[in-house]
Amino acid sequence: MTTKIGGKFLEDFQIWRDNKIATQFPDIPKLSAETLTVSNFLAVSTFDVNTKIDIVKDRAQKYFVAILNYYNQVQDESPLNDDILELLKDEKTAQFYREYAKVWLLQVLYHTDEAIEYKSFIRCGEVENELNNLTIGSMMTKQSMMLYFIALKELVPQMLPFIYHRGTFNAKVRTALLDINGTQTVAVQYTRALVDNVNNSNEFDQFKIMELKSKLDLLNPTYRLSNDIIGNNVFTALAFCMSNSFQSSSLNKAIYYHTILKVLKRILRDPGNQFLDLVNSFVKTFGDVIKASDNITQLFNMVTLGSKKSLKNLHVLTFATKATVLPFKAATVDSTFEPLKSHPLFYKFLNGLLCACQIGTIAYCLYNHESMKEFDVTKLYAGKALFVHEYIDAVASNRIYIRMGEFIREITKSMNPVSVAKAFQIMIPRVVDETSRTLISKLIPTLYVLSEDFSAFTSFTKPKIQKRGSFIISLDELDPKMARDVFLLYQKASFSGPLALNLGGSLFGFSIRKYLRDTLVNLITTLQNARKSYPDIPDLIISFIKSQPTPYRIDYDSEDINQLDYTVSSESFYESSNQYIQKALDTLG
């Protein structure tokens, strides 16, 4: 089944949000956008710096649960405020909450240890399928964003001017954070954080990443701004780390050789190429283009694929000096190339060609990660990233790692999120030196989230039909050993953007069940104590379960044999997952 998603719900949300700001904060529309600065924007946060918890998200989730409690007639400590009651005046909105509330309460009961006596009455598989069915469209996502905004204006009203004037302010943010110096500064800080925590399996700078993402998604909830800026930083850091980390392996050597041969042949076919004279000199010196390619490959193997210095010990000043992509100079090029050293483009060409080989290797592995047991020259990458001048120009403009990162990011855009993560998991042990594998692997969860966001952004900007649940994180496809790190990121992610699309109704419900736990446990305790004195008193929870549609429960009094088959759709997604996925899900909720 399919459903049209599109981006209209995001447009409607932003119109609603602007109207709220203009009505409740009338001075903000009068404010000159010129007075808003990027530094002030970055100084405002929705996170508590001590607990590293998004306080706005926390309150918004409590509001969501309060609405569900309202429709389930569960006693709540605080009444619904005027902003929330206004949302519920819309009948479609109210109907969504009414339907979701009943099914969600069954899910919470099933996943609450203290409610174990009720578990055997609930078919949680059917319940969670229905939660996903109820959230196929954009209603839950839009509601989660609306509640996040309501909490935001209460807790962090300093953010509202930037949101309201985003039409002009977003350009300031984009310019400042995509600036060469800005990107390099953030990429260096990010790399340093990874290096410092390389042996800490719980830390990969997720707080800083998600804190910035939360703010950027407030300015542009389509994910475009956050994906461009955070993607730029992360892929720049990836390019820097990878450029120092290629190991001496038969696969790397084969890709280097055939990439060099391809580049030289292409230049020889182009009479106007700026490197034609130099390449002709290579051919003349070594006899033919094949021998020239072989000699350059041997040089690359000797200088760049030898023993590695661990990135843990690699000073980030290497980033500024570009040492990992500019290894060739007079002292590192042997006498075999003596006749060529005087050519004005010789060293620039070698260093640029090395970058092309490195990106060509990454591209080959990304595109062919499912079949990498043996090198296949017919699958060699042949795109724009093999043009040597791209890297020479990038070095001249002091953005070499940025440019290399752009090439890698562009390749991943054509892949689905699971494939991106899987490709890097397969690639790293095959092409990266063992001293750097742990460090570079810490980037994979963030690459996965960036890929998820890009897929969502693409769907928002193209009016196409999406498959049912196509945005929801697939627990079956997600690599179990990476799942925990992915969910550590999502646990920090806020609802300033359409995050709920990735979670779906069941994962979202699972993540907010903690807000009902104490109330539910108190109710169960009260019922248990009451039954001690009054054994015949009705069990309100059993009565609630029996009042729900037949597919969601097991009726032991029924004569229908299928009703007594407990195994039919009774397992929750948590129970049907392996231990790694379960540990990952534990971090989410």
CA angle 444, 450, 454 (to 5 degrees): 145
The CA dihedral of 388, 391, 393, 396, to the nearest 10 degrees, is -140
Range of lowest pLDDT (86-100, 403-417, 525-539): 525-539
pLDDT above 60 (res 564): no
Residue 46 identity (one-letter amino acid): T
Helix (H) / strand (E) element for 53: namely strand 53-54
Whole-number pLDDT of residue 7: 74
In sequence order, the β-bridge partners of residue 4 are 465
Percent of the chain scoring above 70 in pLDDT: 93
Whole-number pLDDT of residue 463: 62
Give Cα 30 distance to the centre of its chain.
36
Considering only residues 467 and 29, tell me which one the structure prediction assigns the higher pLDDT.
29
pLDDT above 90 (res 305): no
pLDDT above 50 (res 235): yes
In sequence order, the β-bridge partners of residue 48 are 53
HSE, CB side, 13 Å, CA atoms: give it for residue 430.
24
pLDDT band at 308 (very low <50, low <70, confident <90, very high): low
Whole-number pLDDT of residue 314: 56
Whole-number pLDDT of residue 182: 86
Mean pLDDT estimate for the chain: 92
List of residues 6+ apart from 2 with CB closer than 8 A: 465, 466, 467, 468
pLDDT above 90 (res 62): yes
Residue 152 identity (one-letter amino acid): L
CA–CA separation, 423 and 68 (whole Å): 41
In the numeric block, which tokens belong to residue 288?
A: 């033919």
pLDDT above 90 (res 568): no
pLDDT above 50 (res 468): no
Whole-number pLDDT of residue 563: 55
Task: Specify whether the CB–CB gap between 68 and 100 falls below 8 A.
Answer: yes
pLDDT band at 306 (very low <50, low <70, confident <90, very high): low
Task: Specify whether the CB–CB gap between 139 and 131 falls below 8 A.
Answer: no
List of residues 6+ apart from 145 with CB closer than 8 A: 13, 221, 495, 496, 497, 498, 500
In sequence order, the β-bridge partners of residue 553 are 122
pLDDT band at 565 (very low <50, low <70, confident <90, very high): low
Residue 467 phi, psi dihedral angles, 5° rounding? -70, 150
Provide the 8-state DSSP code for 306. S
Whole-number pLDDT of residue 560: 60
Range of lowest pLDDT (388-392, 393-397, 543-547, 560-564): 560-564
Give the mean pLDDT of 303-308: 73
* Cβ atoms within 10 Å, residue 101: 18
pLDDT band at 470 (very low <50, low <70, confident <90, very high): low
pLDDT above 80 (res 275): yes
Q: Which residue has the tokens 């790293």?
A: 428
pLDDT tens digits, 183-204: 988 888 898 898 888 889 888 8
pLDDT tens digits, 203-223: 888 899 999 999 999 999 999
pLDDT band at 336 (very low <50, low <70, confident <90, very high): very high
pLDDT tens digits, 106-139: 999 999 999 999 999 999 999 999 999 999 889 9
Give the mean pLDDT of 312-318: 61
pLDDT above 50 (res 465): no
pLDDT tens digits, 316-327: 667 777 877 888
pLDDT tens digits, 368-419: 999 988 899 999 999 999 999 999 999 999 999 999 999 999 999 999 999 9
Write b or e for each residue in 417-441: b if 16 or more Cβ atoms lie within 10 A of its Cβ, otherwise e: bbbbbbbbebbbeebbbebbbbbbb
pLDDT band at 424 (very low <50, low <70, confident <90, very high): very high
HSE, CB side, 13 Å, CA atoms: give it for residue 94.
8
pLDDT band at 554 (very low <50, low <70, confident <90, very high): confident
Spatial CA neighbour of 379 closest among 366, 361, 364: 364
pLDDT band at 247 (very low <50, low <70, confident <90, very high): very high
Give Cα 152 distance to the centre of its chain.
23
